[in-house]
Amino acid sequence: MAFVGAKIKIIQPLNLNVHASTHPHSFTSNNNCKFTSLSSPFLGSTRTHTLTLTRSISPRRSAASSSTVVAVSDVVKEKKAKSTSNLLLTKEEGLEVYEDMYLGRAFEDMCAQMYYRGKMFGFVHLYNGQEAVSSGFIKLLKKEDSVVSTYRDHVHALSKGVPARAVMSELFGKKTGCCRGQGGSMHMFSAEHNVLGGFAFIGEGIPVATGAAFTSKYKREVLKEADCDHVTLAFFGDGTANNGQFFECLNMAALWKLPIIFVVENNLWAIGMSHLRATSDPEIWKKGPAFGMPGVHVDGMDVLKVREVAKEAIGRARRGEGPTLVECETYRFRGHSLADPDELRDPAEKAHYAARDPITQLKKYLIESKLVSEADLKAIEKKIDEVVEDAVEFADESPAPSRSQLLENVFADPRGFGIGPDGKYRCEDPKFTEGTAQV
Amino acid sequence: MASIFQVIGAATAAVSSSTSFDTKKFQLCSRRSVSERKSSFVVVKASGSNRIGSRADQLVTNAVATKADTPPAASKPGHELLLFEALREGLEEEMERDARVCVMGEDVGHYGGSYKVTKGLADKYGDLRVLDTPIAENSFTGMGIGAAMTGLRPIIEGMNMGFLLLAFNQISNNCGMLHYTSGGQFKIPVVIRGPGGVGRQLGAEHSQRLESYFQSIPGIQMVACSTPYNAKGLMKAAIRSDNPVILFEHVLLYNLKERIPDEEYVLNLEEAEMVRPGEHVTILTYSRMRYHVMQAAKTLVNKGYDPEVIDIRSLKPFDLYTIGNSIKKTHLVLIVEECMRTGGIGASLTAAINENFNDYLDAPIVCLSSQDVPTPYAGTLEEWTVVQPPQIVAAVEQLCR
């Protein structure tokens, strides 16, 4: 069956070689798709059909050597290809983005170290490799815009402005953490920076993000705050794109033209489930137009391309034109979580993406386009290393939550614990603040 | 049933004529000090005691209170309406008062609500404030929660409580927990409401009682309304509360008629309501079973018993003060509920009472619940799944022996 679609330009990822022989699980022959890097699309296989695509493939740079950045994000409704331009951002922006990505990487690497030293426990999901998506999108937001994430949320919180100290303390479970130690790795919240979580179940945050976007529209139209143009970004993965909540929210967001951008961080793996094995049509961006919103596919390893798509999507949302679905093709360099042995993924696949490290790419671009000097970048790296060290020190020295914190924050209005046998509200019991009351 | 309403009606009339709702007359005791103290309305609390003004530091009035005092200056006569209208009135008053209050649910807007609770509101407030959602409970409940986190105060309607099972993920994980996991940074002032309970041959899936499933979720409050008076009061209290509140209505009670005060009033979410004071046995009930109990009470009174009937109203948390005072007086407890036997509200209440008031009990607590059976369609079978007045009478007689 020939795939008839709009002319789409997609940057090719790697060779997706899923050999039945190298894995203990038996992959069916359907999944043996060998793609050459130039002519095949990023596509999963479908059963016995061979997909031939009618695509015009843009001049691409090979993984290692190009110095021009080609922006190739396209909306499904045909659009002219962007011409290459040499300078896609200013020096300040470049340094800001570089710093943010480097912070994300350094922080996550430190998390891994701390985890193995027994400073943090439970499920910790690291973001190494995906920094371009976070920095590409979030650095374009205002403070009042909201970000909703999943359990892989440390870097989203950092990009949005939550101090590294607060995040590290939260991971250590200390009371100085951004959620007072009550949330943990998977529940990063910040009212000040409008980070609405941090959700452990996938898909759970998408309706919450839709709600935040709804509030923005409500403020503008019902409360008549005419300048309210806050947008919401919902980050989630390829696994979530098969979940009902995703589809229900795509529908509602498009229906009411909510100012939300659905950002799919497609890193091809949901723990050990390859995206191709889980999805009937692996091209997630196509699901946008099915609901009446543009669907865009972008190379998520290239922060400049992500930034360009983000600018357009955020602009759309701010102008009240409605939601956008952006599929960022990216990769996580580490396992799903620190407990994941990461045995299933093909080393060649990992090597391929490691060669396209977004930080290295940006560094190369910035230097080759003479925007910044090596010294500038080194200075940033040194500064960030210090920030991360300081965050660890701060978290180490912070106290653990005391018992009195146990019963606080269960209810916004603690009368919700009810009336005790003595006629007094339970929250008025002095033992309540000690955390030892019977509730 | 008619006689019960007469009793209620008479008592309400007596109360509204006897008390002037003058805030100066009532003193709020320290227990109430945490509640709102606006002079424009009165917080009405159910009295655990028999005698009006018996404790100087307690507010006294109640919809179905005891004997009235001599009437002071005439107050307004009140107005009669049906329960769903009372809900609507409460909702409308709150929407008028605070522009952030909005409603979302299936068919709440143009259709006016499947039980007419939101009738006319979309015309008045617009399609965004009274939002007709697509059929996606999990997602629009989550959307309501996200809206609540970012400053709105949504009321999420489940067309039938049973549909909220689809929203269990959002209700349990986000509604109940987000305030805690965010370290208190975000509050979720939502009201989740809808009709539940066994109706007239609606079939198993439309006759569910979800209070038993939701009661373990930390961080939420659950209330059940049973009369127009408490429906309006609880609706307003739930909307004003910063906690997530689940308001359980009952399909068969929407057409109850009662006279309610003209003045604005807000009830207390955590309190129980004294329906009929008595001396012999404490009967704890809520929602529709209140009426079965009152019907049985008539029979019991004729047979010489004096049951004390308490509508617990607050399903989570329990008002152990009112309940405890009653038990200390009568020493016998009968719980009558429509919830399932296993893991229901009655089961929790039995445990709570045993834990706190074991010394005061003369006999083990008797709990009458619905059968652990999916509600059958056939009318006769359906009748037998739910507790009926003769069973209540028999249980009381057995207890008091």
3-state secondary structure A273-331: EEHHHHCCCCCHHHHHHHHCCCEEEEECCCHHHHHHHHHHHHHHHHCCCCCEEEEEECC
Q: Hey, are the CB atoms on A211 and B169 less than 8 Å from each other?
A: no
**Long-range contacts from A310-313, C-beta under 8 angstroms, 24+ separation:** A310/A136, A310/A137, A310/A140, A310/A261, A311/A140, A312/A73, A313/A261
Q: Hey, are the CB atoms on A211 and B150 less than 8 Å from each other?
A: yes
Give yes or no for residue A158 having a pLDDT over 50: yes
Q: Hey, are the CB atoms on A248 and B136 less than 8 Å from each other?
A: yes
Q: What is the pLDDT of residue B58?
A: 35
* Inter-CA distances, B50 with B53, B58, B276, Å: 9, 12, 9
Is the CB of residue B172 less than 8 Å away from at least one CB of chain A? no
Residues of A in contact with B47 (CB under 8 A): none
Chain A 154-193, residues with CB within 8 Å of chain B CB atoms: 177-184, 187, 189-191
Least confident range of A211-220, A255-264, B23-32: B23-32
CA distance B34 to A425: 9
Is the CB of residue A425 less than 8 Å away from at least one CB of chain B? yes
**Among A179, A199, A420, whose Cβ lies nearest the Cβ of B321?**
A420
Is the CB of residue B305 less than 8 Å away from at least one CB of chain A? no
> Mutation test of the interface with chain A: which of B103, B135, B182, B186, choosing the one with the most A Cβ atoms within 10 A?
B182
Residues of B in contact with A252 (CB under 8 A): 133-134, 136, 139-140, 143
Is the CB of residue B137 less than 8 Å away from at least one CB of chain A? no
Is the CB of residue A416 less than 8 Å away from at least one CB of chain B? yes
- At A386, the pLDDT band (50, 70, 90 cuts) reads very high
Strands A269-270 vs A273-274: parallel, antiparallel or unpaired: antiparallel
* Inter-CA distances, A383 with A100, A389, A390, A418, Å: 12, 10, 10, 51
Summarize chain A as % helix, strand, coil (round to 5). 40, 10, 50
Is the CB of residue A210 less than 8 Å away from at least one CB of chain B? yes
Is the CB of residue B269 less than 8 Å away from at least one CB of chain A? yes
**Among B31, B100, B241, whose Cβ lies nearest the Cβ of A425?**
B31
Show the low-confidence residues of chain B (pLDDT under 70). Answer: 1-75
Count of CB atoms situated within 10 Å of the CB of A166: 23
Q: Hey, are the CB atoms on A248 and B133 less than 8 Å from each other?
A: no
**Among B186, B218, B242, whose Cβ lies nearest the Cβ of A191?**
B186
Give yes or no for residue A250 having a pLDDT over 50: yes
| Closest-CA distance of chain B to residue A175, Å | 9
* Inter-CA distances, B163 with A23, A81, B174, B337, B343, Å: 43, 47, 17, 21, 20
Q: Hey, are the CB atoms on A424 and B144 less than 8 Å from each other?
A: no
* DSSP bridge pairs for A324: A261
Q: Hey, are the CB atoms on B178 and A423 less than 8 Å from each other?
A: no
- At A404, the pLDDT band (50, 70, 90 cuts) reads confident
Q: Hey, are the CB atoms on B145 and A249 less than 8 Å from each other?
A: no
| A398 close to A174: Cβ distance less than 8 angstroms | yes
**Max Cα–Cα distance, chain B, nearest Å:** 60
Give yes or no for residue A38 having a pLDDT over 60: no
Q: Hey, are the CB atoms on A206 and B318 less than 8 Å from each other?
A: no
**Among B142, B169, B185, whose Cβ lies nearest the Cβ of A191?**
B185
Residues of A in contact with B128 (CB under 8 A): 217-218, 221-222
Residues of A in contact with B145 (CB under 8 A): 207-208, 211
Q: What is the pLDDT of residue B75?
A: 64
Q: What is the pLDDT of residue A439?
A: 62
Q: Which chain B residue lies closest to A175 (C-alpha atoms)?
A: B183
Give the A:B interface size as CB pairs under 8 Å: 203
What tokens appear for A37 in the block? Answer: 């890097």
- Give all strands (DSSP E) within A215-292, no chain letters: 232-237, 260-266, 269-270, 273-274
CA distance A44 to A78: 23
Residues of B in contact with A214 (CB under 8 A): 143, 146-147, 152
Residues of A in contact with B320 (CB under 8 A): 418-421
Q: What is the pLDDT of residue B231?
A: 97
Is the CB of residue B239 less than 8 Å away from at least one CB of chain A? no
Q: Report which of B136, B132, B144 is spatially closest to residue B108, judged by C-alpha positions.
A: B132
* DSSP bridge pairs for B282: B308, B333
Is the CB of residue B341 less than 8 Å away from at least one CB of chain A? no
Q: What is the pLDDT of residue A197?
A: 84
Q: What is the pLDDT of residue A280?
A: 96
Q: Which residue has the tokens 């710093």?
A: A99
Q: What is the pLDDT of residue A430?
A: 82
Q: Which residue has the tokens 């190298």?
A: A22
**Among B142, B219, B317, whose Cβ lies nearest the Cβ of A208?**
B142
When comparing pLDDT for B240 and A45, which is higher?
Answer: B240
The DSSP H or E segment spanning A217 is: helix A205-221
List pLDDT tens digits, range A293-320.
999 999 999 999 999 999 999 999 999 9
Residues of A in contact with B183 (CB under 8 A): 177-183, 189, 409
Q: What is the pLDDT of residue B13?
A: 39
**Among B128, B139, B270, whose Cβ lies nearest the Cβ of A207?**
B139
List pLDDT tens digits, range A103-140.
999 999 999 999 999 999 999 999 999 999 999 999 99
The answer to pTM > 0.90 is no
Q: Hey, are the CB atoms on B180 and A182 less than 8 Å from each other?
A: yes
**Residues of B annotated as part of the active site:** 137, 206
Chain A 103-162, residues with CB within 8 Å of chain B CB atoms: 146, 148
Q: In one letter, which amino acid is A291?
A: F
Q: What is the pLDDT of residue A438?
A: 65
Using a pLDDT cut of 90, give the percent of chain A over it: 70
> Mutation test of the interface with chain B: which of A419, A425, A428, A429, choosing the one with the most B Cβ atoms within 10 A?
A419
When comparing pLDDT for A143 and A24, which is higher?
Answer: A143
Q: Which chain B residue lies closest to A249 (C-alpha atoms)?
A: B139
Q: Hey, are the CB atoms on A413 and B145 less than 8 Å from each other?
A: no
DSSP string, B182-241: TTTS-----EEEEEES--SS--STTS--THHHHTT-TT-EEEE--SHHHHHHHHHHHHH-
| B235 close to B54: Cβ distance less than 8 angstroms | no
| A110 close to A392: Cβ distance less than 8 angstroms | yes
| A197 close to A188: Cβ distance less than 8 angstroms | yes
| B205 close to B175: Cβ distance less than 8 angstroms | no
Q: Which residue has the tokens 């997602």?
A: B139
The DSSP H or E segment spanning A109 is: helix A91-116
- ipTM value > 0.85: no
| Closest-CA distance of chain B to residue A168, Å | 15
Average pLDDT over residues A206-235: 94
Is the CB of residue B182 less than 8 Å away from at least one CB of chain A? yes
> Mutation test of the interface with chain A: which of B59, B121, B127, B185, choosing the one with the most A Cβ atoms within 10 A?
B185
CA distance B144 to A121: 32
**Among A196, A408, A417, whose Cβ lies nearest the Cβ of B317?**
A417
Average pLDDT over residues A58-65: 39
Q: Hey, are the CB atoms on A211 and B144 less than 8 Å from each other?
A: yes
Average pLDDT over residues A376-405: 95
| B327 close to B360: Cβ distance less than 8 angstroms | yes
Q: In one letter, which amino acid is A68?
A: T
CA distance A168 to A148: 19
Q: B290: exposed, middle or buried (C-beta count within 10 Å: 0-12, 13-18, 19+)?
A: buried
Residues of A in contact with B185 (CB under 8 A): 179, 189-191
Q: Hey, are the CB atoms on A409 and B34 less than 8 Å from each other?
A: no
Q: Which chain B residue lies closest to A184 (C-alpha atoms)?
A: B181
Residues, chain A: 439
